[in-house]
Structure 1
Amino acid sequence: MKITVTGVDTMLSEEGYAKVAREALRQYPIIWERLVYLGKSDNVTFRVQTNDDNQTFLIKIHIATSFIKSKGDIASELIWLEALVRDTNLVVPTPVRNLQGNLVTEISTDHRKNKSMVTIHKWVNGKVLAREPTSNETKNLALLMAALHRHSMQWIAPEGFNRTIYNSDHLYSSLKQLRQLVNLELISSEAFVHVEESAHKIANVIQSSKREQSNWGMIHSDLHESNYVFYEGIPRPIDFSNCGYGFYLFDIAETFMHLSSENRKVFISSYSKVNQLQENYFELLEAFFIWSIIRTFAFHSLNPNEQQSLAENFPSVIQDYFIKYLKGDNFLLN
């Protein structure tokens, strides 16, 4: 994937980010009253409040973590969101175009000509679950993902559309990042051997899996309990910043990391009533589940404050998942 050097200064203070947000809002048809700081992870976000409770927005200042996204990459995320709004009945974060009709607004952050990439979406009402979803909520979550995949199966991306591709290269990139914990002596090289062997096994699965309209396309790739909200019992997806091209089963595997084994069974049952699962889906799901662990650990290893916790959890994760996967023992629904 192409890497650029465009991005916001990650050392800005909260007020510095607020200044960027206020400057960006001048380029949108929004009469706003207050900014509420929400936090910083992949992006810095503020809720934009107006004098109308039905007109609330989310402003997102895109910053660099493991890689820096170009303006085109960010715009492509919003192009897919616009297509979902146009083509489906799903409630998603609807992008707001600026006064020039652009999806992404560039704001200068200092006198060195650094630029911040800013986007605005309509606020999605709902509540984040602070618990495991119920069986019925899991059914609805599966139907949501099935609807996203159904759209991907028929959607044709416009020319110039550019998003992350979740393939073996992406897997090995995560593996390389995770190896830094070995270099820091936070996990043992003996334990990491199981991760490397698993990654090679998964890479073979990825490369031997034929990409077809029914199993590969645009995916959310990060649909966990912080990235969907429930409104009147129906889940609504939010934060599409990690969306990209991948296997639909990889999308499911990412969500399975945050579901109990019983809810995984419910999810499969509900999803398969809408989209037919391929014959070897279970084998692929277990491989992609391990891939999801590698990806998640690699992402969190970028944060020095989380590295010790990862190291403490590593031995049990190796025992419960990686060793079983390498032996061919099923673990996903146990």
Structure 2
Amino acid sequence: MFSEEDYTKVAKEALIQYPIIFSEIVYLGESDNVTFRVHTKDDNPKFLIKIHISKSSNYSKENIESELMWLEALNEDTGLVVPNPIRNLEGDLVTVISTDYNDNKFLVTVHQWVNGKVLNREPTSNETANLALLMAALHKHSMKWNAPDGFNRPIYNSDHLYSSLNQLKQLVNLELVSSEAFSYVEESAHKIAKMIERHKGEQCNWGIIHSDLHESNYVFYEDIPRPIDFSNCGYGFYLFDMAETFLHLSVENRKIFIKSYSKVNQLEENYIELLEAFFIWSIIRIFAFHSLNPNEQQSLAASLPSVIQHYFIKYSKGESFLFN
């Protein structure tokens, strides 16, 4: 186990390789990354440094570089404020740090700090409309952007869906969820997989998506939302991106989101059917992710029957639920 002090040493060693003269670094927390806010002698410029510690394949050097390539392109091509990456003195996006006290090598990135406030609540109607415009701008850029050679990010397809389903099924193997209840989850997943296979990915509906745009991953500067975490970005349907955000919005805010988004990008004729399928998929994905943590398995098992009742059974029966 690494301590905060250990990670601080890694962060300071990495910063030596950047054109940054720092006065202080402040520990922010640990999840898939260990993060620090970097202060300079100038009161305004601040940076974010990430030590990538996840064991996921998304965190290979190649995949991290690809994430940062899209961030650079967004910074150059749009008016969006994003955590633009800072290249090190060698011109690299990712810095590899070896330590004399451990055999591990750390992958480190540095980003421009994005000013704003985390809401810690559901957005207002006006904030929701602006959040929809943010997503629409990301998708508009994705439709036009030609990813460079070597660009490698996750693909959100039926294989990804089944991977999440198999992980979530561990709750059944642990006898925390009954096979009868889980059968509705499996039935829904098979129905969604068939839809994914039928739905052809085209420039207008498929591309690079944020894939995790919720209230912890954007901040508001005045009334304008700014995305701050692109670690789950990958190839997927634009409506899947929207459905994941809908997990965190009320029915009324979902309607506002649709109205605002459609002012920029045209929605497919059967968008409600697709959104409901992708909404169920998003539930499977988020439950599967949290089921990896043994400390969360009991609470997930306790809440899953209610979620199955409200969403999975309705979806299996063909009953609409997303805007009701």
TM-score, structure 2 length as denominator? 0.98
Is 1:171 the counterpart of 2:161 in the alignment?
yes
Q: Which residue of 2 aligns with 1:180?
A: 170
- The equivalent position to 1:189 in structure 2, one of 149, 155, 179, is 179
Contact 1:66 1:299 in 2 (8 A): no
- The equivalent position to 2:266 in structure 1, one of 267, 273, 276, is 276
Aligned length, in residue pairs: 324
Q: 1:307 deviation in Å?
A: 1.4
Contact 1:107 1:117 in 2 (8 A): yes
Q: Which residue of 2 aligns with 1:141?
A: 131
- The change in CA–CA distance for 1:47 and 1:148 in structure 2 (over 3 A counts) is same
* CA RMSD, 1 decimal: 1.1
Is 1:103 the counterpart of 2:97 in the alignment?
no
> 1:303 corresponds to which letter in structure 2?
N
- The change in CA–CA distance for 1:141 and 1:187 in structure 2 (over 3 A counts) is same
> C-alpha separation between the residues in 2 aligned to 1:127 and 1:326?
39
Contact 1:66 1:302 in 2 (8 A): no
Q: 1:191 deviation in Å?
A: 1.1
SS of corresponding position for 1:120: strand
Contact 1:94 1:121 in 2 (8 A): yes
- The equivalent position to 1:28 in structure 2, one of 18, 25, 32, is 18
Q: 1:69 deviation in Å?
A: 2.1
Q: 1:67 deviation in Å?
A: 3.9
> C-alpha separation between the residues in 1 aligned to 2:160 and 2:151?
19
- Runs of at least 4 residues of structure 1 off by over 3 A? 65-68, 109-113
> 1:118 corresponds to which letter in structure 2?
V
Q: Which residue of 2 aligns with 1:4?
A: none
SS of corresponding position for 2:35: strand
Structure 2 regions of 5+ residues with no counterpart?
none
Is 1:223 the counterpart of 2:213 in the alignment?
yes
Deviations 1:182-233 (A, max 9, x none): 1122211111111111111111111111110000000000000000000011
The percent of aligned pairs where both chains have the same amino acid is 77
Q: Which residue of 1 aligns with 2:293?
A: 303
Q: Which residue of 1 aligns with 2:309?
A: 319
Deviations 1:34-57 (A, max 9, x none): 121111112111111112221101
Q: Which residue of 2 aligns with 1:6?
A: none
> 1:273 corresponds to which letter in structure 2?
K
Q: 1:146 deviation in Å?
A: 0.3
Q: Which residue of 1 aligns with 2:121?
A: 131
